[in-house]
Structure 1
Amino acid sequence: MSETTGPRTERVDFRATSDPALLDSADRGEAHLLGYGELYSLWERQHWAVQDLDFTQDKLDWHERFDEEERFARMYGLSAFFIGEQRVAAELGPLMRAAPQEDMRLFLCTQIADEARHVAFFDRFYSEVDVLGVEGLEEKLAATSEHLNPEFGVLFDEMLKSRVDRLATEPEDLETLVEAITIYHMVIEGMLALTGQHFIIDYNEREGTLPGFVEGFINVARDEHRHVAFGARFLRDMARSDPRHVAAIQRTLGEIAPVAEGVLKPKWAPDDDDFEIFGISVTETRAFAFRALERRMKVIGLVAAA
């Protein structure tokens, strides 16, 4: 399965973001990356509201169609998203303040709003469907955190947070900003989030389950493609401006790749890369994620084009 097949990834609103992973031309290193002002305007056009979603059928599916084993697997599959959205929403402020241009900062302000909306989306879904049987956002986050694997903590609470903490005290450190954008936009959003979203949405569409969740998660994925498009544009601009930034991107990807691979596999899964999650093997999931990263790196200029 490729990121350019299927009616969902061919949606005009997804491709409007200019995320290179959705474009066959990216294999040749060709892509028209939107400017920061254009990405802001696209955010206004692609606005959506969590309160407009209807989870009535989702609750019936969850409690009447799914057995206990399937509920656990699905809940586990969503855990990293719920916590991940909360983590990145909390970490975006220093990145926004450290951005060297006003139009970059303006777009990153929209991303902070998006990440908060994504947290609200999961909070409302978990509440109305009664996924965990607990009330309150803090309580849901605490219960969900128990299902994360160790690599998730390393990625978010060590690798990303260390860069963000440095930017909070030294916002002029452009090299650290490049590292943070590489971790956040290229790996956390580009490789991990969008890969998981692709397969979870695809699985639910095939099974005809959780229609309200699918509608909202497609909107979340569209937001993420727009964020990744910003990251690709920013890193291409930085790479062209100073070879030290090229080295920073490459160094960061080399450091984080093994951890990212670990995040893609649940901690309860057997030590078998043929093990399937949402109908897709761990091997296929990893291949999909790294293929998307390769396309983005080709457009940024760090991987030779075909």
Structure 2
Amino acid sequence: MKGAESPVDTVSEPYFERLCELAARDQWRLEDLDWHTLDVAALPEEFRQTAADGFAQLQWGERTAQHAAARLVELLPEGSARAFLVTQRTDEARHVAFFERVMQVLGCEGRVRPSVQRLMREVQEADTPEALVLGMQILIEGVAHSLFQEAAKVVNGFEADESLAGPLQALKKVMGEWMPRLLARDESRHIAFGIHYLRQRLPRLDGASRRQLEEKVSLWGEWVLEQARDPDLVYGIGIDGEAVCGQLLEDLNLRLGQVGLETRIAPLKAA
């Protein structure tokens, strides 16, 4: 891998140490969540299948982030940055297991889109630490964080008649409480790591390496938005894909600016 010798400034050590402290403080266990209270069997099978498909895409992203974090642990030198990535690897394994449990509750096997697999494979096989952090922490983790927040807003606004009140409360617990309170909090640390790391590394890259990063983020960003707007995944569970895309775009471009990249992802053309 090119750039495998990428050092981490000692001046950044206190920042990464603080992230490690937050990771230790905010650990949570799957076993402590009251899964036994979740019963969504009364929901239409088509709805449950669509939801399971959506969770499967998220799980694939979490699995990719887990593998990417493991790669970075091997690449970075000893220190607090590497120590933080060990905590992230643990977080991602827990997130993968979380979505597996959610799909079990739904009673449907989630189907991962080939286009999602392509995107995740591209990110996981990035040829420099900078590209790997960009794809993992800024794109994948950033989009996951935004989706968790947006999904919570949507599901907490759902209303149902008495016959579906129980299943709706189960959905609200998973998407409106656990995902933003637990998973999104984890993702916020991962994003903070990526932003700080890239701010440090980008000024050191030569022109050609920086251009390659700009090109990658432009391509990957477009692919990400295409998935977020997929009507088969979002509209079937009552989410406005265009609105979610707009928020993802705003969040993503903000983070690209924060790390010092010039590229901004353009809105997708009307489907």
- Same fold per superposition (TM over 0.5): yes
CA shift for structure 1 position 251: 2.3
Task: Give yes or no for contact 1:148–1:267 (8 Å, CA) kept in 2.
Answer: no
1:123-134 residue pairs with structure 2 within 5 A?
123-127=100-104, 129=105, 131-132=107-108
Task: Give yes or no for contact 1:194–1:224 (8 Å, CA) kept in 2.
Answer: yes
TM-score w.r.t. length of structure 1: 0.70
Superposed CA offset, 1:261-297 (max 9, x none): 222133736xxxxx84654422222211111112212
Aligned match of 1:56:
36
Aligned match of 2:257:
298
Residues 100 and 294 of structure 1, relative CA distance in 2, 3 Å threshold? farther
Q: Which runs of 5+ in 1 are unaligned?
A: 1-33, 133-142, 167-175, 270-274
Corresponding letter in the other structure for 1:281: D
Between stretches 97-106 and 275-284, larger displacement belongs to: 275-284
4+ long deviations beyond 6 Å = none
Aligned match of 2:3:
none
Task: Give yes or no for contact 2:73–2:86 (8 Å, CA) kept in 1.
Answer: yes
Corresponding letter in the other structure for 2:29: A
Residue 209 of structure 1: SS of its match in structure 2?
A: helix
Q: Which runs of 5+ in 2 are unaligned?
A: 1-13, 159-167, 264-271
Task: Give yes or no for contact 2:154–2:239 (8 Å, CA) kept in 1.
Answer: no
Task: Give yes or no for contact 2:229–2:241 (8 Å, CA) kept in 1.
Answer: yes
Superposed CA offset, 1:214-272 (max 9, x none): 43312011101110111011111112333546434312212212221222133736xxx
Residues 293 and 121 of structure 1, relative CA distance in 2, 3 Å threshold? same
Identity rate, percent: 24
Aligned match of 1:116:
93
CA shift for structure 1 position 213: 1.8
**In the aligned structure 2, how far is the partner of 1:284 from the partner of 1:230?**
28
Aligned match of 2:9:
none
1:160 aligns with 2:120: no
1:268 pairs, out of 207, 232, 241, with 232
**In the aligned structure 2, how far is the partner of 1:278 from the partner of 1:291?**
23
1:201 aligns with 2:181: no
Task: Give yes or no for contact 1:151–1:260 (8 Å, CA) kept in 2.
Answer: no
Task: Give yes or no for contact 2:91–2:186 (8 Å, CA) kept in 1.
Answer: yes
**In the aligned structure 1, how far is the partner of 2:212 from the partner of 2:78?**
20
1:150 aligns with 2:121: no
Residue 169 of structure 2: SS of its match in structure 1?
A: coil
1:252 pairs, out of 191, 204, 216, with 216
Aligned match of 1:241:
204
Residue 157 of structure 2: SS of its match in structure 1?
A: helix
Residues 126 and 277 of structure 1, relative CA distance in 2, 3 Å threshold? closer
Superposed CA offset, 1:58-110 (max 9, x none): 21xx112x222321222222121122222332332111221246211000000
1:182 pairs, out of 134, 152, 163, with 134
**In the aligned structure 1, how far is the partner of 2:123 from the partner of 2:20?**
24
Aligned match of 2:174:
213
Residues 276 and 300 of structure 1, relative CA distance in 2, 3 Å threshold? same
Task: Give yes or no for contact 2:138–2:194 (8 Å, CA) kept in 1.
Answer: yes
